[in-house]
Amino acid sequence: MNRNRKMMLASMATTLAAGVLIVTGTVQAKPPRSEAQVAQEQAALMQAVAKGDGLWHDGSLGTNGLACGNCHPDGSASNPHTFPKFQTNLGKVGTLREMINWCIMVPMQGKALALDSEEMIAMEAYSTFTHRGVAIAPAKDEQYGAVPVVSGPGYPSQ
């Protein structure tokens, strides 16, 4: 066995041993967080949902007096659980955020949000939060026939 081959085998054995360690050891993707940290993170999410709730209903994203809530009360028919999917209005497989922008620009005559803006994330947070517990089901079928109005447990929930 030449030297290179020996070294290769040795390095493969080390990699394997490391792999076994990862599988059998208690390796965590992130360090454990305290209850206080978890509460803070949860509060940050609920802040985004509340911001989305406001934007969804105040009409500020459009210019013609309409708000998302006029056509999608409580997030209904925004179907976040079906994205990404082929959306005929977009002419391609698109995301929930792109469809939110489509509704801002077309029925509400407003200006598209940057896809990674705080506002867009809040809109997505509101839509998905109102649908928590609804099964994820990306499907082309939803495009042919009435868009089903699926409602989750809503918000605020308690």
Query: What are the residues binding ligand HEC (CB under 6 A)?
Result: 61, 66, 68, 70-72, 77-79, 82, 87, 89, 96, 99-100, 103-104, 107-108, 123, 142, 147
Shortest distance in whole angstroms from residue 77 CB to ligand HEC: 6
Shortest distance in whole angstroms from residue 96 CB to ligand HEC: 5
d(CA 113, CA 104): 8
Shortest distance in whole angstroms from residue 74 CB to ligand HEC: 12
Decide whether 48 or 61 has the Cβ nearer to ligand HEC.
61
Shortest distance in whole angstroms from residue 73 CB to ligand HEC: 11
d(CA 78, CA 37): 31
Widest Cα–Cα separation across the chain: 79
- Nearest CA to 147 out of 113, 99, 91 is that of 99
d(CA 51, CA 126): 8
CB 84 within 8 A of CB 156: no
Decide whether 19 or 54 has the Cβ nearer to ligand HEC.
54
Decide whether 107 or 154 has the Cβ nearer to ligand HEC.
107
